[in-house]
Structure 1
Amino acid sequence: MSVVGEERSVVEKWSPVMAIVGANVAMGSVNALVKKALDGGVNHMVIGAYRNVISAFVLAPLAYFLERKTRPELTFRLMFDHFISGLLGASLMQFFFLLGLSYTSATVSCALISMLPAITFALALIFRTENVKNLKTKAGVLKVIGTLICISGALFLTFYKGPQITNSHSHQKALHHNNDQDKTKNWLLGCLFLTIGTTFLSLWMLFQGTLNIKYPCKYSSTCLMSIFAAFQCALLSLYKGRDVHDWVIHDRFVILVITYAGVVGQAMSTVALTWGIKKVGAVFASTFSPVTLIAATLFDSIILHTPLYLGSVLGSVVAVMGLYVFLWGKKNEKEASTTLSAQVDNEDQTINNNHNDSRSPV
């Protein structure tokens, strides 16, 4: 193989991983910024609607110019599939996730996202996209243990907040006593909402794996999803209030956050994640979710000076440990599959050779 060929092979191998990592870093920073905006009292679904509108505007010209010759005919079934995609991966996911984020912190929200591989794996078993028989193997046992450790970490993080371990004077002044006490009381409820939001994200990843086959145009698909999600988020915003003034935003920081969330957190991240799922599968793509936790924690604590609690750190560490036990099992599964495939090929070759020898003249 030539040097150029080897370089191309390395790029093809690692580009989906880099895309998924980049998407998770972006989502971590977005969660930290959106949390800051939510603390100002903005309707969380107004943010969701605006970010999807911005995403659609950004992606529409890209979809038109880059995919107009390769785009399949848009049937009613495909429109309905994108409606479901928007419902699972944007509107319902954001409804519960942003609601939970408003009650907790960006670090906690991303720590619960670390449960994504475990939830995705469990749902994959339910929907039979993962083989139940594989659970009896070493790889299957490791994946189950990793899943249970992930869940244990999330439960620890949920039920134990612990003492504050960082100084964050600016944040405390901004929120002061009443707001902070209200959020502390709703900590458990917030973690529940975050878990529900993460489950919807897992369902979206599994659904997206099927939709990618039917409609393999990442820009057009994400644009359609964003359009449907914008209308869905607008309807869900009625849950919190029906005041038209909720849609008029004057704060420059909130406008900047919504713009960043729409362009980077919704448009580019969803395109990158969709492409990554198409290349490596939903379960494997979900295993990079701890990158979101790391990015959110750094952004949240260092840049936004949000207080960090001992329970969040310990729960996050346990969840990430569970994730890598899960990855260990995934690696063993892949190695076993490769070995089995090689054995089958050798047996086929031996049978063919014996068959040819028997047919040759003495």
Structure 2
Amino acid sequence: MSVIGGEISVIEKWSPVMAIVGANIAVGSVNALVKKALDGGVNHMVIGAYRNVISAIILAPLAYFLERKTRPKITLRLMIDHFISGLLGASLSQFFYMLGLLYTSATVSGAFLSMLPAITFTLSLMLRLESIRSLKTKPGMLKVMGTFICIGGAMLLTLYKGPQIANFHSHPEALHHHNNNNDQDKAKKWILGCIYAIMGTTFLSLWMLFQGTLNIKYPCKYTSICLMSIFASFQCALLSMYKKRDAQDWVIEDRFVILVIAYAGIVGQAMTTVATSWSIKKVGAVFASTFGPVILISATLFDFLILHTPLYLGSIIGSVAAIMGLYVFLWGKNKEIEVHATLCPPIQNEDKNNNNNSDGSRLSV
């Protein structure tokens, strides 16, 4: 029995970690596949709309069966909140992020996505959700330092592409013939793509801050994500008309693109959202966010080894700098949590005693 109990405890300990790592690997692979589909000329918001429709279809049964007894009544205010949630977290974030993906690579876009905790911290300071006084403490200084390193990595990714260091499909003859105008156009698109990727990640950060308050108002995560996906599918459909209004954009005949959309909707949107939400509930958002660079590693390996996309020196150096900054930031965040834990031991002990007492003793308190 003790062996079985030990096995169960190990499973309980590592299952959230495996879930968040698996979710981040899936997100990285989705980014690489979507990049390949976008290079084929598909309207990126058509992919976004179909992706959210599939997500809503997958999550609707889960929301109905798992939360039907605990689901609060949907009010007009909650509908507006979920509309805003879809606009920030799925529509505008995908609109800019996938434009950045189109103009750069899955590696670069993944690097900006791994900066999410630092960008969220910066926005929380701007919106005064984070105390300015905390910046004078050691954890606060570490978070600021990590944020600046992340910003430095982002600037390096944006302004320095560097030489190509590896490409499966490089031919010596092709490397000697370059069109200067074409190179300048690619450089402009690269910088523009990095700006778009930053904007997409910023909207995702705003969604995380907004979702924090929405989760308190409406704690049913499956229903909430389903509603967000429904609103986002219509919003993405409207945003798809920014370039051209052609009904043919919605008729997808390429089997590869169809598979990418299905994979992005089922795995990249619905399953990863559920896995991430469950992992955050088990181990906390800070610990879960430390696995963000897995997205970057997954996208890079998938992009390079399977899709044979070339790697550039600037992308690697900038990505390493971004990851270093991220972990300095998370180090400061962890120190901050330790400080709060040491300041409030009586409350923790009281809660522990209350959990061990019977129902009668709780009533007496």
* Fold conserved between structures, TM > 0.5: yes
1:74 corresponds to: 74
Deviation track 1:269-308 (CA, whole Å, cap 9, x = no partner) reads 2223344455566565444321110110111111111101
Equivalent position amino acid for 1:24 in 2: N
Equivalent position amino acid for 1:299 in 2: F
Change (3 A) 1:125 1:11: farther
Deviation at 1:215, TM superposition (A): 1.5
2:243 corresponds to: 240
Equivalent position amino acid for 1:83 in 2: F
Residue aligned with 2:335, SS: helix
- 1:148-163 equivalences in 2 (<5 Å): 148-163=148-163
Change (3 A) 1:261 1:177: farther
2:190 corresponds to: 187
Change (3 A) 1:308 1:187: same
Deviation at 1:207, TM superposition (A): 1.4
Change (3 A) 1:281 1:315: same
Over the residues paired in the alignment, what is the CA RMSD in angstroms? 2.7
Deviation at 1:46, TM superposition (A): 0.4
CA contact (8 A) 1:208 1:274 kept: no
Residue aligned with 2:165, SS: coil
2:343 corresponds to: 340
Tell me the matched-pair count: 342
Residue aligned with 2:167, SS: coil
Deviation at 1:324, TM superposition (A): 1.1
Deviation track 1:110-133 (CA, whole Å, cap 9, x = no partner) reads 011122111111122233433322
Residue aligned with 1:100, SS: helix
- 1:129-278 equivalences in 2 (<5 Å): 129-169=129-169, 182-277=185-280
Deviates more, 1:325-334 or 1:136-145: 325-334
Equivalent-residue separation in structure 2 for 1:44 and 1:338 (angstroms): 45
Change (3 A) 1:80 1:283: farther
1:56 aligns with 2:56: yes
Equivalent position amino acid for 1:36 in 2: K
Deviation at 1:244, TM superposition (A): 0.5
Question: What is the percent sequence identity of the aligned residues?
Answer: 76
Equivalent position amino acid for 1:189 in 2: L
CA contact (8 A) 2:114 2:293 kept: yes
Residue aligned with 1:169, SS: coil
Deviation at 1:203, TM superposition (A): 0.8
Equivalent-residue separation in structure 1 for 2:77 and 2:164 (angstroms): 51
Residue aligned with 2:72, SS: coil
1:288 aligns with 2:322: no
Deviation track 1:91-120 (CA, whole Å, cap 9, x = no partner) reads 000000001110000000001112211111
Equivalent-residue separation in structure 2 for 1:343 and 1:94 (angstroms): 45
Equivalent position amino acid for 1:311 in 2: G
Change (3 A) 1:60 1:344: closer
Unaligned runs of 5+ in 2: 350-365
Unaligned runs of 5+ in 1: 347-362
Change (3 A) 1:41 1:344: closer
Deviation at 1:221, TM superposition (A): 1.2
Change (3 A) 1:345 1:253: closer
CA contact (8 A) 1:170 1:305 kept: no
CA contact (8 A) 2:286 2:330 kept: no
Deviation track 1:24-78 (CA, whole Å, cap 9, x = no partner) reads 2211110000000000000000000000111111111121112111111111111
1:20 corresponds to: 20
1:94 corresponds to: 94
Equivalent-residue separation in structure 2 for 1:169 and 1:147 (angstroms): 37
Deviation at 1:7, TM superposition (A): 7.1
For normalisation by structure 1, the TM-score amounts to 0.86
1:304 corresponds to: 307
For normalisation by structure 2, the TM-score amounts to 0.86
2:359 corresponds to: none
Deviation at 1:19, TM superposition (A): 3.6
Equivalent position amino acid for 1:263 in 2: I
1:352 corresponds to: none
